[in-house]
Amino acid sequence: MIRFVVIGHRAPTTGEFRLDDICGGAGRLDVLVRCINSTFFLSHDLRKDSEIYLVMQGGDDAPKTVRFYGPELRYLNPDERSTAALIRNALIKKVSTLECMSSPGVYISRMSLGELVNNLASRCEFVYLKEDGVDVRGYVFPENPCFILGDDKDLTEEEENKISSHLCSKISVGPLSLHADHCIIVVLNEMDRRCGLH
């Protein structure tokens, strides 16, 4: 399983946003939905061995974590609006302590970044995507990587500390600083090539 965690610093935690304005009014939810697209879409196929966690830290009901789980995922289309609608369906669900499903392969919980990282630590190795990391092309991927990225904002020092308290590598995707969803494409392309498919 290839996992991504994207931190939505101002991403909404209630369903009270307009699908017409996910870039402005919805705390840059557009960045997160593009990360979902990058995580799963192949040409006429889905990457079923992938999973992405969106840590939503904005709005009145923060934090919440929305999880898209490849093996079970249905009703995902590549466009931003319909993916934002899947997230909104998750956010309007009443959620107490346990994670619950809002549609096939889409889950919602009240996990914070700290809780999520502690929860995942036993199952995967964290790989933090950051400009000053080692080049992904020379990097030896762990068996169960969990790549961590910010949205349009870098991780805060406090957030970085939560990750670095666990075993964590730091990698970069190239000489220029890219959008989060573009970073995911470069990482997955590198992993595809390591599978010896080319």
Could you say which DSSP state residue 15 is in?
S
Segment 126 to 185, residues that bind its own copies, using CB under 8 A: 135, 152, 173-179, 182, 185
Number of alpha carbons in the 13 Å side-chain half-sphere of residue 3: 22
Alpha-carbon dihedral sign for residues 95, 97, 103, 106 = positive
Q: Does 31 bind its own copies (CB under 8 A)?
A: yes
Q: What's the closest the beta carbon of residue 148 comes to its own copies, in angstroms? A: 16
Q: Closer to its own copies by CB, 43 or 97: give it.
A: 43
Could you say which DSSP state residue 198 is in?
-
CA dihedral 130, 132, 135, 139 (to 10 degrees): -70
Q: What's the closest the beta carbon of residue 158 comes to its own copies, in angstroms? A: 21
Q: Which residues bind its own copies (CB under 8 A)?
A: 19-20, 22-23, 30-31, 34, 37-38, 41-45, 77-82, 135, 152, 173-179, 182, 185-186, 189, 192-193, 195, 197-198
